[in-house]
Structure 1
């Protein structure tokens, strides 16, 4: 059976503050265009050293809770060896070790198979860079 591979890049503006941006709708639109009835895998990848992809509930405060937890784990202060950019920017370079820059999710019948309360999110703590690319790739 032949396999298909399709890829597209989202351009996301996150602004000048730390954000958790819900990409679920973008992922669903991509799948509707590229794999309306297909089964396979959706890979989401952010090619930046200071951002990550998380699967979590949004809208109920979990997105703010994630940012608060990251502040505790990765304080924006002068403890970091990586010192260029805004104060505490070194922590942004540690973020992908905790919130990886990728996720691979199942697609069944053209639909993203995630839980009812789960969302695909871009996590960006780098306030110095407000434009991000996110690559969506479907293998089916």
Structure 2
């Protein structure tokens, strides 16, 4: 059994879904592990990880719009230390999650045909985000 770990950094342009699939897949290939389980952790409380549609860009926009409706900005939050988008960003990360587990089968991430890995930035401003990776297998 082998293991590989890394912490990768990604620059986000502000609110939206950033496709990180290729970077994750490239890292995986470098490990040489062909069968196993990859675990990802977003190391932030106002950003998250999703596996979602990778073909139609409209899906990403619809998800961001839906999250904005579920956790709108406003003065109704007690926590606003970093501005009006701070608490809604925490709620959006709670709704979407910060962990993913992806099987590795036959030397590839076992994603479906139309699936991609996305780092969801829930803040308006650009940020540098970190994702921790742990791969265990053979």
1:62 aligns with 2:59: yes
**1:78 aligned residue (70, 75, 79):** 75
Among 104, 113, 117, which residue is 1:116 paired with?
113
Structure 1: where are the runs of 5+ without partners? Answer: none
Could you tell me which runs of 5 or more consecutive residues in structure 2 were left unpaired when the two chains were aligned: none
Aligned to 1:131, what secondary structure does the other structure show?
strand
Deviation (angstroms), 1:35: 2.7
Q: Is the 8 A contact 1:56 1:118 kept in 2?
A: yes
The answer to whether 1:39 aligns with 2:28 is: no
Whole-angstrom CA distance in 1 between matches of 2:114 and 2:4: 27
Matches within 5 A, 1:1-140: 3-15=1-13, 17-36=14-33, 38-60=34-56, 61-128=58-125, 130-140=127-137
Any conservation in 2 of the 1:85–1:128 contact (CA below 8 Å)?
no
Q: Aligned partners of 1:40 and 1:14: how far apart in 2?
A: 29
CA distance in 2, matches of 1:90, 1:56: 24
TM-score (normalizing by structure 2):
0.92
The answer as to whether partners of 1:80 and 1:88 remain within 8 angstroms in 2 is no
The TM-score normalised by the length of structure 1 is 0.90
Q: Distance in 2 between matches of 1:126 and 1:88?
A: 6
Q: CA deviation at 1:127?
A: 2.6
Q: CA deviation at 1:96?
A: 2.2
Give the superposition deviation at 1:103. Answer: 0.3
Aligned residues: 136
CA RMSD, 1 decimal: 1.4
Runs of 4+ with >3 A deviation: none
